[in-house]
Amino acid sequence: MKVTVTLYATLGRYHPEEKGSESFSVELPEGSRVKDLLDHLGIKKGEAKQVFIRHKSRPENYTLEDGERVAVFPPVAGG
């Protein structure tokens, strides 16, 4: 199965071709979850705060479907 991933802000360092927030495709086994994708990319627990798929925030145990677009955001600080 193939999903398209966009990593935002500081997570851009995990882009496999070091292209920051440019979208890229990832091949994963059928039945993979968000957690499996994050592990595949080397993103450590706590570094990804929000994962959006189909315009909704999804938990780490959400099962991905072929062709989905995944947006991954780090925690945001500010004030």
Residue 13 falls within a domain, yes or no? yes
Alpha-carbon distance of 19 to 34, in angstroms, equals 21
On whether residue 20 sits in a domain, the answer given is yes
CA–CA distance, 78 with 24 (Å, rounded to integer): 28
Q: What is the CATH number of the domain that holds 54?
A: 3.10.20.30
Could you give the number of structural domains in the chain?
Answer: 1
Q: What does each of the 79 residues of the chain score in pLDDT, given as a tens digit?
A: 999 999 999 999 999 888 878 999 999 999 999 999 999 999 998 999 999 999 999 999 999 999 999 999 999 865 5
- pTM of the full predicted structure? 0.91
CA distance 29 to 18: 24
Query: Is 79 within the bounds of a domain?
Result: no
Q: Which domain holds residue 7?
A: 2-73
Q: Give the Cα-Cα-Cα angle 58, 63, 15 (nearest 5 degrees).
A: 70
